[in-house]
Chain A
Amino acid sequence: MEDLLDTSALIQLRVDGELHELDVLAGRTLLDVLRDDIGKKGTHLGCKTGHCGACTVMIDGKVAKSCITMAATLARATITTIEGLLDEKGGLHPIQQSFWDEAGLQCGYCAPGIVLSALELVTENHHPSSEDIELALAGSLCRCTGYQSIKRSVAEACVRMYPADENIN
């Protein structure tokens, strides 16, 4: 049984397209590994209890809170951080463009949860209702905006990415 136990685990993460093989100590969060080992500072620490969403990344295409994900448990995973949304030419993702156009954020600290949750939403539901947006962003706190500009930005992103069908009233 002893050969099962180790103080660390070897994991393989493809982060924003780049493959990383890491030996991570047990107990460390994915957030710390991303920020400190890989140098991806765009994902933020807000509470360490999984309530605020500032640490959000996508794991295999689904949003997750990296501060309550133990890195060692991700034997092999594809991670998308907020830094991984630009296109090949370095242009903004339509969601990022919409947030820019609509002045969606202020201090920007909450961006990872807000933007990536919006991405998962619009991927699954091209024409979300106001309530759908609220549910998709329920895991994210923002202290600056009162959410008005955020909702506007997400709605605009959906329209930008999936213009309404002409036949739908």
Chain B
Amino acid sequence: MSLHPMYARPRDLEQATQLLASLSSGAVIIAGGQEIMPFINYGVMMPDVYVDIGGISALRGVNVESDEVSIGALTVHRDVQSTAEILERLPLLAYAAQQIGGGWQVHNRGTIGGNIVAMHPLYDIAPALLALDTDVELLSDKGLQRLSLSQLQNDSSHGLGSSSILTRVLVDTMLPNALWGYYKLKNTAGAYGSANAAVVIQMDGEKIASIRIVIGAVSEKLVIISEALDGCLGCAYTLEVGQAIEKACVEAIDEPLSDQQGDGVWRKAMAGVAARRATEMALSNLTNSSIKR
């Protein structure tokens, strides 16, 4: 807790990891700052050291290799929304990034890495990424670690934000016949999400071949619903199937959040409504239309 914090801007990953390792505690990694600056401004967080990773070029850029899209952690939301590789290969992610609140200002400065590291239940990027096949790369002085995003969600020892750096987000290109939907329930235009649902479905003709739904903003951790939906596999999407999906998603929520966005009873129910609407979006023609910035 310091009135005179220190600042460092390592020029590359090696320098960054060495620096982080040499600092015992009280170090905070900063990129766009959209997440941590409000806490800094109010004195809620008073780091001893700011490690600014904004100058590290290895954290930038979007590349594709063998159908895996590698997104640098410093990629800003605006670019996630509009970069050709992401629009073509990960349209669900591009769309979810458009739903991020805070306006163009936040889209211009906020990074995908910062958003994921925040692990904020109300945010939009993680639900979309969890509905896809996503790994993340974490770098510390102990080396480079690759793990799935869902593993990361459950692992509190990752040290992200203070001792290890999220370097790249790796997502498999969505299959050509994958349908996707994203529904964000907000009380009003400027509110945070009360219930988010990301859906990826594959159809085999008229029948559902696979379906994965991720619910965000309803509970502290994001909820991935997959096996609970096995009953829909091989079925056409009917009213009953929609209701079954809704019910399964509601039941998957154990401890819904209660805050000014809404109480837990409602949120639990909204998990189901959001899931169903995201599913319907996936199945409609909307997914085929071009995405505006």
Contacts and interface: CB of A to CB of B under 8 A. Distances in A.
Main secondary structure of the interface of B (DSSP, over half): mixed
Nearest to A55: B105
B143 interface: no
Main secondary structure of the interface of A (DSSP, over half): mixed
Contacts of B105: 50, 53, 56, 63-65, 113, 117, 139
B5 A140 contact: no
A75 B4 CA distance: 20
Interface in B145-173: none
B52 A72 contact: yes
A34 to B, nearest CB: 15
Size range of the interface on A?
35 or more
Interface in A39-72: 48-51, 53, 56, 59, 62-65, 67-70, 72
Contact of B108 (A29, A63, A113, A134): A63
B229 to A, nearest CB: 33
Contacts, number: 125
Given A64-B105, A139-B103, A8 B38 contact: no
B15 A4 contact: yes
Interface of A: 1, 4-9, 25-27, 29, 48-51, 53, 56, 59, 62-65, 67-70, 72-73, 75, 113, 117, 120, 124, 134-141
Interface of B: 4-10, 15, 18-19, 22, 30, 33-34, 37-38, 40-42, 47, 49-50, 52, 54-55, 78, 101-106, 108-109, 189-190, 293
